[in-house]
Amino acid sequence: MNYKFYKSALAIGIAALLNANLSAQTATFEDIQLQGPNDVKIPSTGSFNTKFISGSCEFNNSYDIGFGGFWTSGWAYSKTNDTTTGDYLNLYASYANKGAGNSSNYAVGQNFSNFKVNQNTLQGLYISNSTYAALSMKNGDAFAKKFGGTTGNDSDWFKLTVNAFKNGTLKTEKVEFYLADFRFTDNTQDYIVKDWTYLNLLPLGSLDSLQFTLTSSDTGQFGMNTPAFFCIDNITTNADTATFENLTLPFGQTYWNRGSKVFTETYRSHWATFKSSFSVSPSYNYWSKGFAISNSTDSVTSGFANLYSSANGKGAKNSSNYAVSNGNGGIKLDLINDAHISAKGISLNNSTYAYFSMKNGDGFAKKFGGVSGNDTDYFRIIFKGYYLNKLTPDSVVFYLADFRNPDNSKDYLLKDWVYADLSKLGDKVDSISFQLESSDVGQFGMNTPAFFCIDNVEYKTTTSVNKVDKNNAVKIYPNPSTENIYVNYEDNFSFINIVNLQGKTILQSNQKSIDISGLENGIYIVQIATENGVLNSKFVKQ
């Protein structure tokens, strides 16, 4: 190795480290990876369990927010009347087109569903196919065969097995029921259950829970091809009957498949933190507040279906990524011990949704300026700074739209990125809050859509020379390294950033052993966020 070059390189690295501590830091969102064009990051993973009760029976339910949200296991309840739609869009319909005894409600179960019984004796229940499974067996589909085959002679079947448990132990008794049976020599006897059929469960004896398992003659590489759904109703115990009629369906819906939960996620760009929340309710799923990270280019579609685009369809300075803010909120900046943190500025733009709402009006909000153009409308953000949870003295007001000028030609509705100077917030700022205000308010508050876009959040950190000396005490070895480095730090820390000499975060880890084999050769700075602040050191990748 050329040690003269290495010594020179270390000197450059130290100079770069000092400059980094004295210069602006910028959250550009370009370091947050999106999957492809017109993608968005909001909380999109996570599952949760809930339950519902009818009679003496307790039914579990699981729901996942991935892929737009879907019912993953357990039970749903329904009053859906649809015997003609035979695909996965119709998961919640009974092929009998109603509940048992012409009732409204019934339950839909998936394979391996189970429920608890708070009585010792279960007499029986009524069972039917789901429309999805029945029409799949009747006609075949892209995944499953037509039962009986083209000749009608294939010996197909679809069976439900009911197992009982007592005190967590599987009992030997079981009850089997064929939801479809094409094994008869006389094809006229083949059947797919359509009407509700009573299933006697007294042979199971004393129990406290049941499990339902589906099997089929139609199997493939990934298991059973027949859709794994069925319907039950009127579960009769020695004390009562679970009819599901006591259960309320969400307004406007014919089925229930999930409970309520809020999912949160935190995104980091450079040393800035942005939070986002996603809410699930029995009626619908929705991004409830916080930030979405987006690269959407849709600057022409109006309405709430286009929540994640900036008004000009790009980020500040023609970058790809930016953030969309939903409602009032804030930004957290990492607090560095013994450092002065000051807010410098931020690039702002309207969202496409808010832009077209103010430009044209919609079902909730007025057209800015009104019919005459003389209405003194405005849409603005009030920024406030905090340090150690204490409010700094001054605030910054920024107008995303302003129609207050007597000269209407000077009215404006922001459609491009504009830099807002936030230095007025103070010399020490570790978080920034913002509040949206509009001239268009109604009974339930602001009518203007509460969305706007941000990019290039700039702030400055100034660290003392003594702090830099302490930073240099953090040891990295081996140094230089080709594949892995180890950060020698014994106390607690929250994360480690690997930053290049241009100030861009290349890697982030919560482990002290870090794989650097994918980095280009050169000098890098290690930032370790500790309980006492952020410590810095450097290493050479060769």
* pLDDT tens figures, 245-283: 999 999 999 999 999 999 999 998 987 899 999 999 999
The answer for residues whose C-beta is within 8 angstroms of residue 332's C-beta and 6 or more apart is 272, 273, 275, 430, 431
Does residue 11 register a pLDDT over 50?
no
Where residue 205 falls (left for φ over 0; alpha for ψ -120 to 50; beta otherwise) is: left
Higher pLDDT, 470 or 38: 38
pLDDT of residue 1: 37
- Pairwise CA distance, residues 396 & 62, whole Å: 46
CA 194, chain centre distance (Å)? 38
pLDDT of residue 472: 45
Does the bond joining 480 to the residue before it have cis omega, within 30 degrees of 0?
Answer: yes
Does residue 342 register a pLDDT over 90?
no
The answer for residues whose C-beta is within 8 angstroms of residue 57's C-beta and 6 or more apart is 115, 116, 117, 118, 235, 237, 242
Does residue 12 register a pLDDT over 60?
no
| Same-domain pairing of 237 and 297 | no
pLDDT of residue 335: 60
The dihedrals phi and psi of 519, each to the nearest 5 degrees, come to: -80, 150
With tokens 């014994």, the residue in question is 490
- Write down which residue in 221, 256, 291 finishes a domain: 256
Count each helix (H run) and each strand (E run) in the chain, helices first: 4, 39
- Pairwise CA distance, residues 334 & 529, whole Å: 8
Which of 454, 438, 435, 348 has its CA nearest to residue 395? Answer: 435
- Pairwise CA distance, residues 128 & 198, whole Å: 9
With tokens 């009732």, the residue in question is 103
pLDDT of residue 536: 80
State pLDDT tens for residues 349-381.
Answer: 999 999 999 999 999 999 999 999 999 999 999
| Same-domain pairing of 283 and 239 | no
Strand ranges (E), 153-284:
157-166, 169-181, 191-192, 197-200, 209-216, 219-220, 223-224, 229-237, 241-242, 255-256, 261-269, 272-280
Residue 239, judged by CB atoms within 10 A of its CB (0-12, 13-18, 19+), counts as exposed
SS3 (DSSP) at 115: strand
Residue 44 belongs to a domain: no
Cβ–Cβ under 8 Å, residues 420 and 347: yes
Count CB neighbours of 440 within 10 A.
Answer: 19
Residue 430 belongs to a domain: yes
pLDDT of residue 532: 64
Number of domains comprising the chain: 3
In DSSP terms, 125 is beta-bridged to 199
pTM, to two decimals: 0.78
* pLDDT more than 70, % of the chain: 91
- Pairwise CA distance, residues 154 & 130, whole Å: 22
Does residue 522 register a pLDDT over 80?
yes
| Same-domain pairing of 231 and 304 | no
Name residue 479's amino acid. Answer: N
Kindly report the average pLDDT of the chain as a whole number: 90
Domain extent for 520? 3-23+473-541
| Same-domain pairing of 123 and 76 | yes
* pLDDT more than 90, % of the chain: 73
State pLDDT tens for residues 109-134.
Answer: 999 999 999 987 899 999 999 999 99
Does residue 62 register a pLDDT over 90?
yes
Lowest average pLDDT, out of 48-57, 90-99, 524-533, goes to: 524-533
Residue 433 belongs to a domain: yes
| Same-domain pairing of 274 and 180 | no
- Write down which residue in 222, 256, 290 finishes a domain: 256
| Same-domain pairing of 245 and 268 | no
Lowest average pLDDT, out of 125-129, 195-199, 229-233, 475-479, goes to: 475-479
Dihedral of alpha carbons 125, 131, 132, 134, sign: positive
Look up residue 254 and give its DSSP letter.
S
| Same-domain pairing of 59 and 92 | yes
Look up residue 95 and give its DSSP letter.
T
State pLDDT tens for residues 430-483.
Answer: 899 999 999 999 999 999 999 999 999 998 876 544 444 444 457 888 988 888
Q: What is the CATH number of the domain that holds 65?
A: 2.60.120.1350
Count CB neighbours of 78 within 10 A.
Answer: 26
Does residue 5 register a pLDDT over 60?
no
The dihedrals phi and psi of 352, each to the nearest 5 degrees, come to: -60, -40
* DSSP alpha helix (H) spans, 441-512: 465-471
Task: Give the pLDDT band (50/70/90) at residue 389.
Answer: confident
| Same-domain pairing of 277 and 310 | yes
| Same-domain pairing of 292 and 399 | yes
* DSSP alpha helix (H) spans, 288-425: 352-360
* Rounded alpha-carbon distances, angstroms, from residue 472 to 431, 461, 477, 499: 27, 17, 13, 15
Look up residue 248 and give its DSSP letter.
P
Does residue 3 register a pLDDT over 70?
no
What does the block give as tokens for 137?
Answer: 């067996």
What does the block give as tokens for 358?
Answer: 């103010």
SS3 (DSSP) at 132: helix
Residue 467 belongs to a domain: no
| Same-domain pairing of 408 and 528 | no
- Pairwise CA distance, residues 52 & 74, whole Å: 11
| Same-domain pairing of 233 and 177 | yes
pLDDT of residue 339: 56
What does the block give as tokens for 467?
Answer: 């702090």
Does residue 19 register a pLDDT over 80?
no
CA 389, chain centre distance (Å)? 29
Higher pLDDT, 530 or 58: 58
Cβ–Cβ under 8 Å, residues 85 and 93: yes
pLDDT of residue 462: 63
What does the block give as tokens for 452?
Answer: 């706007």
pLDDT of residue 15: 40
Q: What is the CATH number of the domain that holds 495?
A: 2.60.40.10
Instruction: Give the pairing of strands 241-242 and 57-64.
Output: unpaired
Does residue 340 register a pLDDT over 80?
no
Which of 524, 397, 525, 508 has its CA nearest to residue 471? Answer: 525
State the average pLDDT over residues 171-191: 97
What does the block give as tokens for 83?
Answer: 């015997």
| Same-domain pairing of 329 and 291 | yes
- Pairwise CA distance, residues 36 & 284, whole Å: 26
- Pairwise CA distance, residues 450 & 325, whole Å: 8
Does residue 24 register a pLDDT over 80?
no
- Write down which residue in 205, 226, 256 finishes a domain: 256
Cβ–Cβ under 8 Å, residues 176 and 215: no
pLDDT of residue 404: 97
Cβ–Cβ under 8 Å, residues 390 and 384: no
Cβ–Cβ under 8 Å, residues 217 and 159: no
Does residue 159 register a pLDDT over 80?
yes
